[in-house]
């Protein structure tokens, strides 16, 4: 192929999507655009367009850029997912073949670093003296007040349970009993005076 033929071919295939039939130095080239669902992104002598890739939602992907007759679909990772099968590329904004939802942390743990489109969530156990029922954040155990007793100690997943002191049946003493006691005290005070 002469340099001139090569240049002509390159111009043709740049302008048009695809060469209709292979060219010979004297036949010239005829180009046709790629039909829907196919594309050609490089000038060449090929006479068939490539089929467009699709972005599988089941693999955590969506189409960031739709296919055109001169460029393939560009898939990206759906929010809340990270890429498990990146397409190696010197490009920083690499493409992805498959992604997975960010993991949740177990109860008793908290999120150390939130997942990104490239990395999964990282978790760490709650620090001593704190708990996390959902596995998101850790909260310090409640300290029971002076007129309460600790009914149940806190652990990694549950808070401390506090109860009323003496008797521990706060709210269960019937009102008449309270009134009676107060009357008794009143009587004692009156008698004392
Ligand atoms: C891609 O095409 C679909 C349907 O034709 C459209 O709903 C969507 O918005 C397009 N996406 C982009 C990124 O242009
Ligand atoms: C929970 O933790 C996340 C970081 O892991 C933080 O952004 C968020 O503000 C916290 N929420 C509460 C209610 O503390
Ligand atoms: C933490 O305490 C809760 C309620 O008090 C209990 O149900 C749970 O089994 C405890 N978890 C551990 C790991 O001890």
Residues 34 and 44 in one domain: yes
Q: Are 86 and 110 in a shared domain? A: no
Kindly state the average pLDDT of the residues 40-51. 81
- pLDDT of 41 above 60: yes
**What is the residue range of 14's domain?**
3-51
* Cβ neighbours of 90 (radius 10 Å): 5
Q: Which residue has the tokens 């050609």?
A: 40
Residues 23 and 81 in one domain: no
CATH number for the domain including 138?
2.10.50.10
Per the domain annotation, does 139 fall within a domain? yes
Ligand 2 atom nearest the C-alpha of 114 is: 5
Q: For 105-132, what is the mean pLDDT?
A: 97
pLDDT digits (tens, 9 = 90+) for 59-81: 999 999 999 988 999 999 999 99
CA 63 to chain centre: 17
pTM of the model: 0.64
Centre a 10 Å sphere on the Cβ of residue 186 and count the other Cβ atoms it contains.
Answer: 10
Q: How far apart are CA 57 and CA 126, in angstroms?
A: 34
Testing ligand 3's pocket by substitution, the residue of 158, 159, 163 carrying the most ligand atoms inside 8 A of its CB is 158
pLDDT for 147-159, tens place per residue?
Answer: 999 999 999 999 9
The pLDDT of residue 187 is above 80: no
The answer on 108 and 133 residing in a single domain is: yes
**The domain boundary residue, chosen from 101, 119, 140:** 101
Residue 174 backbone dihedrals phi, psi, to 5 degrees = -65, 145
- Pair 110, 154 in one domain: yes
Tokens 């007129």 label which residue? Answer: 147
- Find the range with the poorest average confidence among 38-52, 137-151, 152-166, 173-187: 173-187
- Cβ atoms of 103 and 115 within 8 Å: the answer is yes
Which contacts (CB < 8 Å, 24+ apart) does range 147-154 have? 154/129
Residues 74-103: pLDDT tens digits?
999 999 999 999 887 666 667 889 999 999
Total domain count, the chain: 3
- DSSP assignment, residue 190? H
* Ligand 1 residue neighbourhood (C-beta within 6 Å): 63, 65-66
């Amino acid at each position: 192929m002469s340099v001139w033929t090569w240049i002509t071919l390159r111009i043709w295939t740049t302008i048009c999507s695809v060469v209709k039939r292979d060219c010979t130095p004297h036949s010239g080239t005829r180009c046709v655009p790629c039909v829907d669902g196919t594309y050609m992104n490089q000038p060449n002598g090929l006479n068939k367009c490539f089929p467009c890739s699709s972005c599988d939602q089941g693999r955590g992907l969506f189409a960031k850029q739709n296919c055109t007759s001169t460029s393939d679909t560009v898939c990206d990772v759906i929010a809340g997912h990270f890429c498990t099968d990146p397409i190696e590329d010197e490009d920083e904004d690499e493409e992805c073949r498959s992604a997975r939802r960010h993991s949740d942390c177990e109860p008793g743990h908290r999120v150390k670093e939130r997942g990104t489109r490239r990395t999964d969530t990282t978790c760490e156990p709650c620090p001593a003296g704190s708990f996390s029922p959902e596995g998101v954040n850790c909260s310090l155990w409640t300290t029971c007040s002076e007129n309460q007793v600790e009914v149940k100690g806190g652990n990694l997943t549950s808070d401390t349970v506090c109860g009323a002191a003496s008797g521990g049946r706060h709210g269960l003493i019937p009102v008449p009993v309270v009134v009676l006691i107060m009357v008794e005290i009143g009587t004692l005070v009156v008698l004392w005076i």
